[in-house]
Amino acid sequence: MNNQQRVERHGRTVVVGVDGSTGNRSALRYAAEEAAGLGGRVDVVHVVPDYLPISPLVPLTPEDLSETATAILRSALASLEEIAPDAEAEGHLRHGTRAVQLAQAAEEAALLVVGRDDRPLLERLLSGDVTAGVCARASVPVAQVPAGWEPTSGGTVLVGVKSPQHAGELLAEAFAVAHRRGARLVVLHAWRLPSVYDDIIEVRVDLDSWQEEATIEMEALVRDWRVVYPDVPVEIRVVHDRAAHALVEQSQDADVIVLVRREHGVPAAAHLGSTARTVLRSARCPVRVVPPTGTPEVPVLLESEGHLVR
């Protein structure tokens, strides 16, 4: 399913998850910007835990959780109204596991937005990384927004392309985002083996020739998309580096990074792969993770009729 088909099927709603943390404001700002670009509304969702800590010293009741949840949701809606007074918005409370409930809430949406979980790694491992869980489960693109993010006009969309597999849905999202933002698109392809093996490759392979061949392959992948989005300037970058490191380094000059989720792996969070996990944890800009659809997305230009078929 390409970007246009997804919008038609899921509507133009942007779902944003809030938890009462300081990072919510950046996620709300990003969600409002995306909804404005799509011409849709913002659904603000807070998930109430479906468990109660058992302690005689700190007794809690379901009513206590409900009151807190309502306050968090009201505060988020008030912040959204301050950020984007003209945005159409609705608030929703759900109960259960955060990652599961947020993914389900966005099933009929165009995009799911979450803030970055900046807790220490050990704490995230013990209690669960909500962002990783959402990105692994969601059937729509997920945008993770770091705290303190501010919107910019124009700028750069950075998309990491590893291979032709799933490049269709990945480039469909990246070109559409760049088009809406009035931004240029940087297509990054990076590879580097562990040092001992990489040294052998460098001795046996002409890296300049390899870079030229890889550039030709990347150009072939974007050729048809240039026709669909002639207003989007495209730059191909081929670098001899580990993909995660290259993407994090170049995130300093990007407005958003677009990645595709792996389509296999157990448990669910393993679908992300090590590169996506590293980029989600360390990127300086919002990161969009696109679910794999398994269907190639190559637009076709019917010259005789003068329109595009996807």
Question: How confident is the model at residue 310, as a pLDDT?
Answer: 46
Peptide bond into 146 cis (omega under 30): no
Report the length, in residues, of the chain: 310
Question: Would you say the CATH fold of 153-310 matches that of 1-151?
Answer: yes
Question: How confident is the model at residue 151, as a pLDDT?
Answer: 78
Contact, 114 vs 133, CB < 8 A?
Answer: no
Distance CA 85, CA 143 (A): 22
Question: How confident is the model at residue 121, as a pLDDT?
Answer: 55
What CATH class has 1-151?
alpha beta
Tell me the pTM: 0.83
Domain ranges of the chain: 1-151, 153-310
Question: How confident is the model at residue 267, as a pLDDT?
Answer: 55
Q: What is the pLDDT along the chain (310 residues), one digit of tens a residue?
A: 455 555 444 568 999 999 988 889 999 999 999 999 999 999 999 999 876 555 555 555 556 678 889 999 999 999 999 999 999 999 999 998 899 999 999 999 999 999 987 655 555 444 457 888 898 889 999 999 998 888 776 799 999 998 887 888 899 999 999 999 999 999 999 876 555 544 555 555 556 777 788 899 999 999 999 999 999 999 999 988 889 999 999 999 999 999 998 765 555 555 677 888 899 989 999 999 999 876 555 555 434 334 444 4
Contact, 41 vs 89, CB < 8 A?
Answer: yes
Q: For residue 278, give both structure tokens.
A: 């590293």
Distance CA 16, CA 9 (A): 19
Contact, 247 vs 279, CB < 8 A?
Answer: yes
Question: How confident is the model at residue 206, as a pLDDT?
Answer: 58
Span 153-310: which CATH code?
3.40.50.12370
Distance CA 119, CA 225 (A): 39
Neighbours of 256 (CB within 10 A): 25
